[in-house]
Chain A
Amino acid sequence: MTESRSGLVDRHVAFLEALRGAGLAVSLAEDLDAVAALTALDWTDRTQVKEGYAATLVKKQAQRPTFEALFDLYFPRMVGGGARSLDPDGDPDVGDAGGDAAPASLVRDNAEALADFRERLAEALEAGDQQALDALAAEMVGRFGAMPGRGPGLSSWSAYTALQRVAPTELVDRIVAALLGQGLTQEEAERGAGRRVGAFTATVEADARRRIAEEKGADHVANVALRPSIDRLDFTAARRSDLEQMRREIYPLARRLAARLTKEQHARRRGPLDFRRTVRASMSTGGVPIATHHRPKRPHRTELVVLCDVSGSVASFAQFTLLLVFALRDQFQKVRAFTFIDHVHEVTHHFTPGADVVDVMADLAASTAHAALWGRTNYGRALTKFVEQHPDAVGPKTSLLVLGDARSNYSDLHEDVLRDLAGTARHAWWLNPEHRRHWGTGDSAARAYGEIVPMVECRNLTQLSEFVHELAR
């Protein structure tokens, strides 16, 4: 089998390389497991192959979307316009229809074809027919998203163009009407329609990636078109939907951290020998102290003061950090939080125990107005105001945490105020959501402040949780 080089091993190795490139730690042992799994499975069923790979290679659920996207690139559902369907379970009629349409369709891109296509798409979306939708997505990219090149290997496909032309979002009202006819309530119908159109859009984007990968090689697409998994995504690069997903991650993350911290505290709990208990326990072993008993150690808990920049560019980062810190409030003796842009505003009262995350976020966003007078970030002024208005906040038992990108619009930095604060506090840190290489560029005062307070790069959820863990220890 290997002598004639079927290309299977090459593809397998390339796939694994791409996974490693995307941040999945795939070991050689797992590689071999995957091969063993594939030999045990039925090669003609694509889903089985995928699950075989997933079971042996993907050991974290957060990495699953990355894996799915790469698997679709390296083991595409079909080739070209779908003439040769690789999925035997797929309806042969659908495959043939796509095959017939593919050569002709590239030229048949006119208003009539568009209207006809939208009609068929609307019907499929109303019925929720997944197989038809997959075929339609392939046809749509082939027909309306093609960007012919000057020669072989130069043509490309654009999901954006295709989606702009066909505009499936305009079909939502029709689908809602159809779903209402099936006896759903207005609200359910709207949600259902939105979900179907969203799923279809994702299918179209995946199909465009698949075609480009076919043309230019999967490695090329894997390098440029894939987004990092949610726990490695930069706060500053996150889209709206990403932010929502991140927010959902906060509580599980806090729970994991709390479990880890409790465990570590228990491991370090053995304090001085408890003589009385040890002697008593030795009675049952004839006076020989076989097991020693120890007094519990007094837990030491940190008082935390968080100062966050909530100006536009770093607002989401500040919110995540605040949410995480407050989710872990049991680990600290006391937490106070202040937000600033060019003025300081205390927000501690928004974080009541057991409060609803969505409400807290809304309250925080609403209170941003209190943190600004002119609306231009001014770290120097904010620090001065903080010391003036809350002189009791930072004491010798406090740990001070400043969050922000240190971009202060070239204003007076008041390093002396920060130096005093850092001197008073037991510990002080500065978390910066920017990449280290951007520090000190432009109006960034990261270098200047970094000399006074140790500055830590904190760009994604992984780095954030590592830092908070260190903080709470």
Chain B
Amino acid sequence: MSAPSWFASPAEATSRLDAVGYLADLPTATTAFLAGALEKPLLVEGPAGVGKTELAKAVARATGAELVRLQCYEGLDEARALYEWNYKKQLLRIQSAGDQEWDATHDDIFTEEFLLTRPLLTAIRRDEPTVLLVDEVDKTDIEVEGLLLEVLSDFQVTIPELGTVTSTRRPFVVLTSNASRELSEAVKRRCLYLHLDYPDADREREIVASHVPGLDDRVTTQLVATVARLRELELKKAPSIAESVDWARTLVALEIGDLDEKAVADTLGVILKHRSDHDRAVKELKLR
């Protein structure tokens, strides 16, 4: 197959993702490599804020591909995911046709000119390397899942008036999900699966350090240890990586040089967003 290869090996995936600022662990790198090598869509699941969407963006940056993004939400339909006919323009065309034959008009108005491509079709029609990000796929309705199934298994779309559009170059597809509902078995079967979880202390330290270079090493270590401790508690919403980075930024902005108990208590609102979580953290960490 003359398909473009995305990554040559898991090790290469690690280093290239690293170069664009995404610190991937071995499972992530291996799965990203496989998604490219097998040309299969990659389903990334995990709690909010662990870098699922970021992974897709990093792959795009690392391979120089363009990112096409389809943000899913309840009520998303074919017209907004795949393609739509620009019927207003078609109406104008019909009105201006005057006494032209219907057949000619008909042939006229169902052409490229009147086609509005939406993310899925755009990604399939592109000749350059493309990363297609289908974000928060668990938010959509079952019908859209069916649509995705068709597109993701064959990478082709049939438009009745134009014929079948087949992709010349398969995009690198990343689907993300917060697991707020179980996706159908059929979708899962067609995808490679990666569960992203909170990273271990060393990796998180690296991530925080790379995002917030201004923070003292010692404070970073304290911060990561505190966040890890908080994740062990039974909280409604455990702090995510994005939140630890926010916390690090807060500490830099407030010029806090030592993360002692008072500093933690004062800035806890940055990482915990529920009152009961807040109370529990104060109790367990013996802040007051």
Contact = CB atoms under 8 A, between A and B. Distances in A.
Contacts of A255: 180
B234 A358 contact: yes
B195 A64 contact: yes
A51 B42 CA distance: 13
A266 B74 contact: yes
Interface residues of B, number: 38
A51 B31 contact: yes
B182 A256 contact: yes
Contacts of A36: 38
B180 A256 contact: yes
A188 B228 CA distance: 11
B234 A247 contact: yes
A158 to B, nearest CB: 31
B10 interface: yes
Interface residues of A, number: 39
B26 A47 contact: yes
Interface string B22-64: 0000110011011001101001010000000000000000000
Interface string B74-97: 100000000000000000000000
A108 interface: no
A256 B225 CA distance: 30
B192 interface: yes
B27 A51 contact: yes
B189 A30 contact: yes
Interface stretch (B105-113, B123-131, B264-272, B273-281): B273-281
Contact of A256 (B26, B179, B275): B179
A223 interface: no
A415 B274 CA distance: 45
A51 B195 CA distance: 11
Contacts of A267: 141
B188 A354 contact: no
B9 interface: yes
B274 A354 contact: yes
Interface in B161-197: 179-182, 185, 188-195
A329 B45 CA distance: 27
Kindly name the residue among B45, B192, B194 whose own CB sees the greatest number of chain A CB atoms within 10 A. Answer: B192
A37 interface: yes
Contacts of B74: 263, 266
A55 B191 CA distance: 9
A170 to B, nearest CB: 24
Interface in A16-54: 25, 27, 29-30, 33, 36-37, 40-42, 47-48, 51-52, 54
B94 to A, nearest CB: 13
B203 interface: no
Interface in A39-77: 40-42, 47-48, 51-52, 54-56, 58-61, 64
Interface string A217-235: 0000000000000000000
Contacts of B26: 47-48, 51
Contacts of A52: 30, 34
A354 B34 contact: no
B236 interface: yes
Contact of B179 (A37, A51, A252): A252
B225 A55 contact: no
A397 interface: no
B37 A354 contact: no
B276 A41 contact: no
Nearest to A251: B236
B47 to A, nearest CB: 9
B180 A55 contact: no
A263 B26 CA distance: 36
B40 A59 contact: no
B276 A356 contact: yes
Given A354-B276, A355-B276, A357-B234, A256 B38 contact: no
Contact of B9 (A42, A252, A256): A42
Binding site secondary structure of chain A: helix
A37 B38 contact: yes
B38 A59 contact: no
A42 B195 CA distance: 22
Kindly name the residue among B9, B181, B191, B229 whose own CB sees the greatest number of chain A CB atoms within 10 A. Answer: B181
A268 interface: no
A36 B33 CA distance: 13
Contacts of A356: 234, 276, 279-280
Given A27-B189, A256-B180, A61 B195 contact: yes
Given A48-B10, A354-B275, A356-B276, A55 B34 contact: yes
A248 interface: yes
Nearest to A257: B181
Contact of B193 (A47, A48, A59, A263): A59
A259 B181 contact: yes
Kindly name the residue among B30, B37, B192 whose own CB sees the greatest number of chain A CB atoms within 10 A. Answer: B30
Contacts of A29: 189-190
A260 interface: yes
A37 B34 CA distance: 6
B233 to A, nearest CB: 8
Contacts of B37: 37, 40
Nearest to A192: B225
Contacts of B280: 356, 358
A55 B31 contact: yes
B10 to A, nearest CB: 6
A260 B225 CA distance: 36
Nearest to A256: B181
A256 B177 CA distance: 12
24 contacts: A29-B189, A29-B190, A30-B189, A37-B34, A41-B10, A41-B34, A42-B10, A51-B10, A51-B27, A55-B27, A55-B192, A56-B193, A59-B185, A61-B45, A61-B179, A64-B195, A256-B179, A256-B182, A263-B74, A263-B141, A263-B181, A354-B276, A356-B280, A357-B234
Interface of A: 25, 27, 29-30, 33, 36-37, 40-42, 47-48, 51-52, 54-56, 58-61, 64, 188, 247-248, 251-252, 255-256, 259-260, 263, 266-267, 354-358
Interface of B: 9-10, 26-27, 30-31, 33-34, 37-38, 40, 43, 45, 74, 138, 141, 179-182, 185, 188-195, 225, 229, 234, 236, 274-276, 279-280
Given A55-B194, A56-B34, 13 more contacts: A29-B189, A33-B38, A48-B10, A54-B193, A55-B30, A56-B193, A58-B193, A64-B195, A255-B180, A256-B180, A259-B180, A263-B74, A263-B141
Closest 3 CB pairs of A and B: A51-B30, A59-B188, A40-B37
